[in-house]
Each structure stands twice: as C-alpha cells, then as structure tokens.
Amino acid sequence: MKSFLTFIICFLLLTGCNRTKEKEEKQKVNDKPKISILGVFHFAGTSDFSSVQFESLESEKRQIEIKDIVKKLKEFRPTKIMLEYPSVDSKYLDSLYNETLNDNRDFTINEIEQLGFRLAKELNHNRVYSIDYKLDLPFDELIEFAENNDKRRYENMIASIKAQDKKESDFLAKNSMLDYLIYRNSDKEDIRNKDQYLNQTAKFVNDSNYIGAKFVSKWWERNIYMMTNIDRWITPDDRVLVIVGAAHRAVIKDFYEDRTDIEYVEITNYLKK
C-alpha cells in the first residue's frame, strides 16, 4: 500500500512538472516578437521590370477599399509599421509622417502613405520605419547576355511576365483591392514569384558567364539587407507589420518563417476576416 501511494505521488509530481514545462515552453513561444508581411503593388506606378496597370486610386470607390484594408490590418494590432523606403533616407520619411500626423498634409497616392501612414496614424504611432536597401540589379548585363546567347528563352520569359501583368491588371479591374491583396499574398503567388527568379532568370548562364545567377543572388542579397534593417528595430514584445512589394514579401517571408527567434504571422488571416 505504501509503495502504491509513493507511486501515485511520484506520478502526480512528474505530471505536474511536465505540464509546467509545457506551459513554460508555450509561454516562451508566445513571448517571441511577431512579424507579418503585406505584399502590395506600387500604388503610384513603378519603374520595375514588371508592373500592374490600374485606374486612379483617388476615386471614392478605391479610397473606401483602402480604408477597409486598413481597418483589417488594425486587427493585427501592430506595434511598429515598417515600409519599403530607403533606410538611408529615413529622416525624410519621418518628416513626411510627422507632417501627416499633425494634419499638415494629405496622403499622397502611394502604398507607403495610403496604407502605412494611414494605419500608423490611426494607431497613434509616433513614427514609421524605413527598411529598404537599394542594390542595383544587373538588368543591362542580363538583357545583353540573354539576347545574344539565349534569345528564345528570353522572349518566352518576357512574354510570361507580360501575361502575368495583364492577369493581375485584369483581376484588379474586376475586383476590390482587398480581394487583390488576398490573392497576391497567397502561398501560390509567393511560390510563383520566387519561381520567376529561380526557374527562369537564374538559367541565363554559360560556361564563362553566370549573369543569371548573379542577378538572382543580388535580388536575394537585397532582401537579406532588408531583413537586417527590420531586425534593427524589433524588440521582444513587438508585433511588426512590414509593407513591401509582393516580390519582396515572397523572399523575406521565407527568412522569418525559418527563424527560431521570431514568430511569423500570416497577414491573410486578418485580410480574410
């Protein structure tokens, strides 16, 4: 009887210790800073190789849609909002946000202000964060090599990019901006975005010239720099929202999903609510 009671007591103590350990481990995970990444198209147009065509976002319809997106992003409860703006020019962006915060200027038509500034202002944030790192991609070298060494592949790639641009432009013309962002921030689109670099651009090489690999590695390098700029501002209790071009999201998202020190949170869970 005595040994049975001893067994029961040891069992209860062991169970209690295990539960405490599980609770501590769970608490440790929950205490990690959280990050979510919203991939967008550039509202003001872009000089990028690929771009989406759309009507003016100043219309009443589109402005209502933008405000609806901001309302859903607020549900994430971000403590910091980080934007695709050169970190070396952060003081200028700070000055623009301060003017906006003090009602001395309206939001201009770009995603930085329409989404980033608007959201930060509604959350009473005293600043926003610039995390971009400009790194020149060897476009001219890539095009010259492709036209001289692999013209058919190059023409097929350009046709594929134009077809995708048209698909996105048509989708945006027929749907709300919220629907577009849900579509654009899907796993399927993230994979397609990376595939464009890894399965197409990277193949422009020969025995003496690895320009395709150089181009793609430069793109990943730029995104790594952006990740480190994000890291500079993260503190333990943060809930960070990063707003960047969708091609950046596809790569940076992978970095944070594989990190053990930060919890990645998918923004589409909030956009779909």
* 112, burial (CB in 10 Å: exposed 0-12, middle 13-18, buried 19+): buried
Average pLDDT per 10 consecutive residues for the chain, totaling 273 residues: 54 55 51 96 63 76 96 98 97 96 91 96 97 95 96 95 93 94 97 96 97 98 98 97 97 98 98 93
With b meaning 16 or more CB within 10 Å and e meaning fewer, what string describes 119-136?
A: bbbebebeebbbbbbeee
d(CA 87, CA 213) in angstroms, rounded, equals 26
Classified as helix, coil or strand, 86 is strand
* 168, burial (CB in 10 Å: exposed 0-12, middle 13-18, buried 19+): buried
Structure confidence at residue 56 (pLDDT):
76
Show the tokens assigned to 201: 């651009």
Structure confidence at residue 95 (pLDDT):
96
Structure confidence at residue 154 (pLDDT):
96
